[in-house]
Amino acid sequence: MINIEIDGKKLSVEPGEMIIEVADKAGIAIPRFCYHKKLSIAANCRMCLVEVENAPKPLPACATPVGEGMKVYTQSEKTIEAQKSVMEFLLINHPLDCPICDQGGECELQDVAMGYGEGVSRFTEGKRTVKDKDIGPLIATELTRCIHCTRCVRFGEEVAGIQELGAVQRGEHMKIATYIEGSVDSELSGNVIDLCPVGALTSKPFRFSARAWEMQQRPTIAPHDGVGSHLYLHVMGNQVKRVVPREAEAINETWIADRDRYSYESLHHADRVTKPLVKQEGVWKETDWSQALEVVAKQLNIIAKNDGADQIGCLASPSATLEEHYLLQKWLRALGCQNIDHRLRKTDFRVKEQAPQSAALPCEFTDVEYYDRFLLIGSYLRKDIPMLNHRVRKAVMLGAEVSVLNPVDYDFNFDVAHALISDVRLLSTQLAGILKALSANAPLFSTLPDYLRQVSPDPAQQAVADSLKAGEKVMLFLGSLALHHPEAGLLKALAEGIAKETSGELAFLHEGANAVGARLAGAMPHVGAAGSALPTPGLDAAAMTHAPRKAYVLHQIEPEWDCAYSAQTLQALEQAEFVVALNTFQSDTMLDYADVILPAAAFTETSGTYVNLAGHWQSFEGAVVPQGEARPAWKILRVLANLHDVEGFDYTASTEVRDELKQQVEESAAQSHEVAGQTDTSSLKSYSASRDNTQQGLVRLTETPLYRTDAFVRRSPALQQTTDNQRTGVRVSRQVAEQYKLDPAHPVTLQQGDYSVSLPWQVDEALPGNHVWTAGVAGLGAPFGAIELTQGKVS
Amino acid sequence: MAKIDLLSSEVRAEIDKWIAKYPAEKKRSAVVGALTAVQDAHGGSLTPALMEAVAEYLDLPPIAVLEVASFYTLYDLKPVGQHKIYLCTNVSCMLCGSDQIAEHLKERLGIGFGETTADGKFTLKEVECLAACAGAPMMQVDKTYHENLTRERVDDILAEFD
């Protein structure tokens, strides 16, 4: 530690720190534009010039390291004079029309100009103007306002991992631009809006719709993935006008993904249900709450009484709150129904999940940065969980090696050391090869089916094994593709085997905002809340589809997009005697299959808790009043349970629900992280039966693109227009296109059993042969099953 | 065809020479040398496709190449004549009469700064200091410096290209 003085205040600081960092920590304000604590130092705006004793000229505080005995003056005449001069230069070309600028009122330049600018400009010449560019649906540009701080450029290079914006030309002509009028496509792109200290980059959907001082800022938690980024909602009247990050170093640092930033647009979508709806003899009628709830209670009672409570099935979104998951299962289990699941896209349930764990990651998000070897199994981490991907990327920058095993050669924003791009049917063979390369006699092999026992490692698998073995801290990620894979149980057992041999740890990249919470709350058919044992297990999500129930309770899901067997699920729902949907939105499909639609409040309108992948219970309050007659889902469930005379539903606040579960979790064994080797390996041999060993014929590969994950993002117009969201329709490998002589001008027909759809198609060079890629297409069969492809020429 | 195929083996060899001068992970440092080699091999100017080829070859985002290519006056992003004349009009040259030289050049060639003669022979460019102040006023024609310019000197130099 060394001693310095700022404005006479004695400080003991780390050597190597910059003056501005030290001053920030000590609460001493120094104006700045280009400096940002999360970005590299550019020192190009010169606004932070300060007087330092014995230095001949004022020095930039952001780029001047502290030294023993240094004396800094941030308020001296020399400092103020320097800063005023810089301000005058910056304002030469900046328009002085704050009242018509979207940034007005929350502008760093405006703020600093209030302190350091002159009332009247001495500059009477013409100002520089720059043509605005269209850089995509999320960010509006007004480049005449740009002061060339280059924060946005550095963000792309250093954080997003893809430089899309740059400073082209020089001097007077310098401007921020994309390459040849391209769009900015990073999944983190919206952060440049927050970084921009002026009104050059602003939010396209938001701009000019409210002023900073008209809005109130309310905290919440992001509802789309397992990170649970901390957000601020900016609310005017009862409307969420925009979403910005809330700093949380351990969760999302100072960033958020575009999905979390722009999904608020869906809150005012025309599909919002604002009144309870009941179908009477095929006609939908708006009704009041008491009537609608009575219909639901009565219908479920009739079915439970006549056919048994196991004729009720409940499918809940993994992004519903902890409280909702807990109340759903508490209510239905009291009726005698165990058919509850939130693992909607999972297809293999043969290996039962053990007692639920308190987290899906073995460590905090920040700790991920300090692992030195990763194996990503079936994951497009960059698009699935952008803020977790950011941690892995930071680890790579510190020297970590990442290996991936995927059916598609995904475009990661870090260097991939070893990429195994494999037929999706052979993921388990690949993992077995890696395991064998690590240890030919690993105990796991004796439990595996023959086709995996006999594997001999190829050089690529050997390279991955060598990479993992050379690591000190190894982490394996089972991504959504692996968790939803028809051999998910095998993949998990093999990943555990590899983890064991490399002293590594396993992380589960479950979908949704509350997958860990749903498990703890007991929203699974085979374990109750807090891992409690059940007398008889119920049906899992797939079984509820394959063995249709007479009644369904759907909670915040749209089966055509959210369920693995979408077409079959819809069929089951249509045939059911009674379907109640608790949902924020309605759709034509829902009006077809449902009998009652109960308007549930959106994520901004209810209180609740999400448990993120790292195991943090993150509670939030409702920020706005629910639209129309929509009500928080936990209250709806409370009343339904009351109508069924279930005891213990006298909650007056959602926090009571949370605390009740919390106590159970603390008392139970569901405390430890899932560790390698916990899988019950007794059933692994049975996988032989379902194995297609020929790998002949076409196989379907299903992905849930990042802007299709849930009902909210699917209804967010700006996100739907992004380049990322154009990854849609049907994609086939070049081999398939040539083999089937596909005509690009016509759609292809895909068929799986009784289900078929016709869609436009394109070639995807990143796909292996024999693969037909679909983006969670409704109306088909098994997401990773055999598929037939035909192209009838339109005459 | 991948953009990278636009680069001939000679150009690649030249770029590799530049890459070899820097640490393996700092390929980016070779971008100035690479752009110069590519521009020289393609009629004195760069096209988007050529910049993308360089980006691909050096494993850089295209915008990073454009930043460099648009920064230096030595690179041209529009088609140019056979010969490029860079006239310095910075302080030293200006004090020693570069204004007259500029006027003379414009008159002789019938073009202004940033323009190319109708026969496609010359492109005239106004540039900042080329570090030859001792011989001001000066200009660079292609790769050659010409100092202590007078109208007559300029005529002689241009005559060499007839």
Tell me: the pLDDT tens digits for B141-157?
999 999 999 999 999 99
Do B64 and B90 belong together in one domain?
Answer: no
**Is residue B77 in a domain?**
no
pLDDT of residue A314: 98
CA–CA distance, A539 with A3 (Å, rounded to integer): 67
Q: Establish if A166 touches chain B: CB-CB under 8 angstroms.
A: yes
- CATH number, domain containing residue B135: 3.40.30.10
Interaxial angle between packed helices B62-71 and B48-58, expressed in degrees from 0 to 180 and rounded to the nearest 10:
120
CA–CA distance, A313 with A320 (Å, rounded to integer): 17
Interaxial angle between packed helices B9-20 and B48-58, expressed in degrees from 0 to 180 and rounded to the nearest 10:
50
Q: State how far the alpha carbon of A506 is from the alpha carbons of A474, A475, A494, in Å.
A: 9, 6, 11
* Closest chain A residue to B75, measured at CA: A169
B contacts of A169 (beta carbons < 8 Å): 70-71
The string of pLDDT tens digits covering residues A138-168 is 999 999 999 999 999 999 999 999 999 999 9
What mean pLDDT is predicted for residues B104-116?
A: 96
More confident residue, A205 or A669: A205
Q: Token digits for A173? A: 């002509």
Do B96 and B64 belong together in one domain?
Answer: no
- pLDDT of A662 above 50: yes
**Is residue B116 in a domain?**
yes
What band does A383 get if pLDDT is binned at 50, 70 and 90? Answer: very high
Which of A788, A368, A776, A795 shows the shortest CA–CA distance to A612? Answer: A368
Lowest mean pLDDT among A194-198, A338-342, B3-7, B67-71: B3-7
Do B92 and B146 belong together in one domain?
Answer: yes
pLDDT of residue A795: 40
- pLDDT of A3 above 70: yes
- Which secondary-structure segment (H or E) carries A382? helix A381-384
What mean pLDDT is predicted for residues B63-71?
A: 96
Residue type at A202 in one-letter notation:
T
Do B90 and B45 belong together in one domain?
Answer: no
Secondary structure (DSSP) of A148-206: ---HHHHHIIIIISS--EEEES-GGG-EEEEGGGPPP--TTTTHHHHH-SSSSEEETTT
Chosen domain end from B71, B97, B127 = B71
- pLDDT of A393 above 50: yes
The string of pLDDT tens digits covering residues A581-633 is 999 999 999 999 999 999 999 999 999 999 999 999 999 999 999 999 999 99
Do B87 and B109 belong together in one domain?
Answer: yes
Do B67 and B115 belong together in one domain?
Answer: no
Chosen domain end from B42, B71, B100 = B71
CB contact under 8 Å between A170 and B70, yes or no, is yes
pLDDT of residue A299: 97
Q: Token digits for A15? A: 């050597």
What mean pLDDT is predicted for residues A444-461?
A: 94
Q: Establish if A270 touches chain B: CB-CB under 8 angstroms.
A: no
The string of pLDDT tens digits covering residues B6-46 is 999 999 999 999 999 999 889 999 999 999 999 999 999 99
- Which secondary-structure segment (H or E) carries A656? helix A654-667
**Is residue B78 in a domain?**
no
CA–CA distance, A716 with A311 (Å, rounded to integer): 36
CB contact under 8 Å between A179 and B61, yes or no, is yes
pLDDT of residue A793: 54
Do B99 and B129 belong together in one domain?
Answer: yes
Which structural domain, as residue segments, surrounds residue B148? 83-159
Q: Establish if B77 touches chain A: CB-CB under 8 angstroms.
A: no
- pLDDT of A675 above 50: no
Q: Establish if B22 touches chain A: CB-CB under 8 angstroms.
A: no
CA–CA distance, A403 with A373 (Å, rounded to integer): 8
Task: Give the single-character DSSP code of A69.
Answer: T
Q: Establish if B24 touches chain A: CB-CB under 8 angstroms.
A: no
Which among A154, A165, A179 is the top mutation candidate for probing chain B, defined by the most B β-carbons within 10 Å of its own β-carbon?
A179
Q: Residue A538: which residues within 8 A CB-CB, separation 6 or more?
A: A310, A337, A338, A339, A340, A525, A526
Q: What is the pTM of this model?
A: 0.94
Which of A605, A753, A671 shows the shortest CA–CA distance to A266? Answer: A605
Lowest mean pLDDT among A74-88, A273-287, A342-356, A413-427: A342-356
Do B99 and B54 belong together in one domain?
Answer: no
3-state secondary structure of A2: strand
**Minimum distance, in Å, between the CA of residue B60 and any CA atom of chain A:** 9
Sheet hosting strand A730-732, strand order edge to edge? A699-703, A771-775, A730-732, A761-763
**Is residue B55 in a domain?**
yes
**Minimum distance, in Å, between the CA of residue A171 and any CA atom of chain B:** 9
The string of pLDDT tens digits covering residues A282-314 is 999 999 999 999 999 999 999 999 999 999 999
Chosen domain end from B71, B91, B110 = B71
Q: Establish if B66 touches chain A: CB-CB under 8 angstroms.
A: yes
- pLDDT of A44 above 90: yes
Which among B3, B63, B75 is the top mutation candidate for probing chain A, defined by the most A β-carbons within 10 Å of its own β-carbon?
B63
Question: Contact B150/B112 with Cβ under 8 angstroms?
Answer: no
What band does A119 get if pLDDT is binned at 50, 70 and 90? Answer: confident
What mean pLDDT is predicted for residues A534-555?
A: 96
Do B38 and B106 belong together in one domain?
Answer: no
**Is residue B76 in a domain?**
no
**Minimum distance, in Å, between the CA of residue A224 and any CA atom of chain B:** 30
* Closest chain B residue to A176, measured at CA: B67
Do B106 and B66 belong together in one domain?
Answer: no
* Closest chain B residue to A171, measured at CA: B71
- pLDDT of A558 above 70: yes
Size of interface A-B (CB pairs under 8 A): 32
What band does A378 get if pLDDT is binned at 50, 70 and 90? Answer: very high
Q: How many domains does chain B have?
A: 2
CB contact under 8 Å between B67 and A167, yes or no, is yes
3-state secondary structure of A405: strand
CB contact under 8 Å between A164 and B61, yes or no, is yes
Do B87 and B132 belong together in one domain?
Answer: yes
Average pLDDT, chain A: 94
The residues in A 177-236 lying below 8 A from B, measured between CB atoms, are 177-180
**Minimum distance, in Å, between the CA of residue B137 and any CA atom of chain A:** 23
B contacts of A168 (beta carbons < 8 Å): 63, 66-67, 70-71
* Closest chain B residue to A413, measured at CA: B61
Do B11 and B49 belong together in one domain?
Answer: yes
Question: Contact A509/A613 with Cβ under 8 angstroms?
Answer: yes
